[in-house]
């Protein structure tokens, strides 16, 4: 049994995030800081800034290019990517919703494949933040050199051989579906000696290893019967989320040096339009009204769990139905507030876990089915949202950031 990235051992470390959820009430807002490699689909977005991961650059010559040891390949622009278009004067913005997953292991419960299908069935695309070490066999664990920890160590389990095979297939299919493969880095170290204590150089080392485990899985596993992943990870990886939402301050310079376009590691903010930190789009977990309470909760499954059963992932079964309802309504509270108000993008962070009988998985599935087919809603990846933001007039975005989450303005005064 693989101990995934957010098993019981990691819960206490994640709890440091929660102080923000209780300290901020519902009354205010902040403007924020400034498989296979066959047939390809339509061209990607023509919007964007022209940086890493955007559609600019030389046209594809139609030839598949195997990279390195054959673990990855370039098969052309990613299929099924929307075109980022600039808002027209007076136009109400789309309601963007990003569903993202930390770890992205296809385990025995097959949640990765299940939620890929949920996305496809509901006109959605999602971001999967892969823990790179999930492609490194335990027998090769000494290849991993985590900052401030012994070689070969990790706070999560290395994947089984079958799980590596299954995860590779899901990564392949996810990319072909138009989903994003981001990174959750590697060993999931939190608290003392974790990301918050790492220097920029140490984050750079951790990230380069995450690249390496994806780009060299054939060498590391010895598998010869699996085709290359259909993407060049050097081009595709444009953002990530740090374990336990720790260490963004020293992580950002490393990301900037690598040409990344966004970071989703901030522990929390109000539901406001995003801004950049150090030239990188900042997508924090968001505070949403907790059903029936006078506080807000961060938009991540763990934070609902913590408010319901503390650090116990197997709470009172008699309360599961109530907790599932609270979780679903909490996400929908946040959605309705901005959907009928400022239209600020909404971000939800999740883990492939069966905490409290799997109620958080069911709540998320219900929310996807509810919101992603509504008029004006676009359930997108973080990379796609970044493309859209880069296509907008910066002055318009500055005005959008001044809106309170529930504030529905006269759009002619904002989009002009």
Helices (H), 241-294: 248-257
pLDDT of res. 22: 36
d(CA 321, CA 329): 12
Buried b / exposed e over 155-173, threshold 16 CB at 10 Å, is bbbbbbeebbebbbbbbbb
Q: Which tokens go with 251? A: 């992580």
Copy the structure tokens of residue 4. Answer: 């995934």
Is the separation of the CB atoms in 269 and 24 below 8 Å?
A: no
3-class SS of residue 128: strand
d(CA 331, CA 297): 9
The rounded distance, in Å, linking the Cα atoms of 393 and 410 is 18
Report the CATH superfamily, name and number, of domain 8-55+74-413: Glycoside hydrolase/deacetylase (3.20.20.370)
What gap in Å lies between CA 224 and CA 271, rounded to an integer? 47
CA distances from 112 to 156, 378, 403 (A): 18, 21, 36
Residue 397 is classified by DSSP as H
Task: Say if residues 267 and 285 touch (Cβ distance below 8 Å).
Answer: yes
pLDDT of res. 268: 87
Query: What angle separates helix 359-371 from helix 301-309, to the nearest 10 degrees?
Result: 130
Contacts of 218 (CB under 8 A, 6+ apart): 69, 70, 71, 224, 226, 228
Angle at which helices 161-177 and 111-121 pack, to 10 degrees? 10
Name residue, tokens 């290849």.
Answer: 143
pLDDT at position 127 is 98
Q: Where are the domains of the chain?
A: 8-55+74-413
**pLDDT digit string (tens) for the chain, length 416 residues:** 444 544 433 443 344 344 333 333 333 333 333 333 232 232 333 333 445 776 555 789 999 999 999 999 999 999 999 999 999 999 999 999 999 999 999 999 999 999 999 999 999 999 999 999 999 999 999 999 999 999 999 999 999 999 999 999 999 999 999 999 999 999 999 999 999 999 999 999 999 999 999 999 999 999 999 999 999 999 999 999 999 999 999 999 999 999 999 999 998 899 999 999 999 999 999 999 999 999 999 999 999 999 999 999 999 999 999 999 999 999 999 999 999 999 999 999 999 999 999 999 999 999 999 999 999 999 999 999 999 999 999 999 999 999 999 999 999 999 99
d(Cα 79, Cα 172) in Å, to the nearest integer?
Answer: 12
Residue 200 CB neighbours (<10 A): 17
């Amino acid at each position: 049994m693989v101990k995934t990235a957010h098993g019981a051992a990691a819960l206490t470390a994640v709890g440091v995030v929660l102080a923000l959820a209780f300290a901020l009430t519902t009354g205010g807002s902040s403007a924020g800081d400034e498989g296979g490699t066959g047939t390809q689909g339509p061209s990607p977005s023509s919007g964007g800034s022209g940086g890493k991961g955007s559609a600019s650059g030389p046209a594809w010559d139609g030839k598949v290019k195997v990279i390195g040891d054959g673990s990855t390949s370039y098969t052309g622009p990613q299929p099924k990517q929307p075109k980022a278009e600039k808002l027209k004067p007076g136009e109400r913005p789309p309601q963007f919703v990003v569903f993202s997953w930390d770890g992205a292991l296809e385990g025995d419960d097959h949640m990765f494949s299940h939620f890929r299908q949920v996305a496809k069935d509901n006109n959605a695309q999602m971001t999967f933040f892969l823990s790179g070490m999930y492609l490194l066999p335990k027998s090769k664990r000494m290849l991993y050199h985590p900052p401030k920890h012994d070689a070969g160590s990790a706070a999560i389990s290395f994947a089984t051989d079958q799980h590596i095979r299954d995860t590779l297939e899901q990564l392949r299919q996810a990319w072909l579906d138009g989903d994003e493969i981001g990174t959750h880095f590697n060993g999931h170290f939190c608290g003392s000696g974790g990301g918050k204590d790492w220097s920029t150089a140490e984050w750079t080392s951790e990230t380069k290893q995450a690249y390496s485990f994806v780009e060299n899985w054939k060498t590391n596993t010895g598998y010869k019967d699996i085709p290359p992943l259909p993407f060049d990870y050097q081009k595709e990886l444009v953002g990530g989320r740090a374990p336990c939402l720790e260490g963004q301050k020293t992580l950002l310079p490393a990301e900037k040096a690598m040409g990344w376009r966004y970071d989703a590691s901030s522990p929390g903010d109000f539901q406001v339009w995003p801004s950049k930190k150090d030239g990188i789009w900042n997508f924090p977990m968001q505070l949403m009204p907790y059903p029936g309470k006078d506080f807000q909760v961060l938009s991540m499954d763990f934070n609902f769990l913590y408010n319901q059963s503390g650090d116990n992932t197997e709470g009172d079964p008699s309360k599961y139905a109530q907790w599932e309802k609270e979780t679903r309504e909490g996400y929908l509270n946040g959605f309705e507030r901005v959907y009928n108000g400022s239209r600020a993008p909404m971000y939800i962070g999740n883990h492939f876990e069966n905490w409290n009988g799997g109620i958080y998985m069911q709540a998320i599935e219900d929310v996807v089915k509810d919101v992603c087919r509504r008029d004006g809603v676009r359930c997108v990846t973080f990379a796609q949202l970044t493309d859209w933001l880069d296509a907008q007039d910066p002055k318009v975005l500055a005005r959008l950031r001044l809106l309170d989450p529930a504030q529905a303005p006269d759009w002619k005064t904002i989009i002009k």
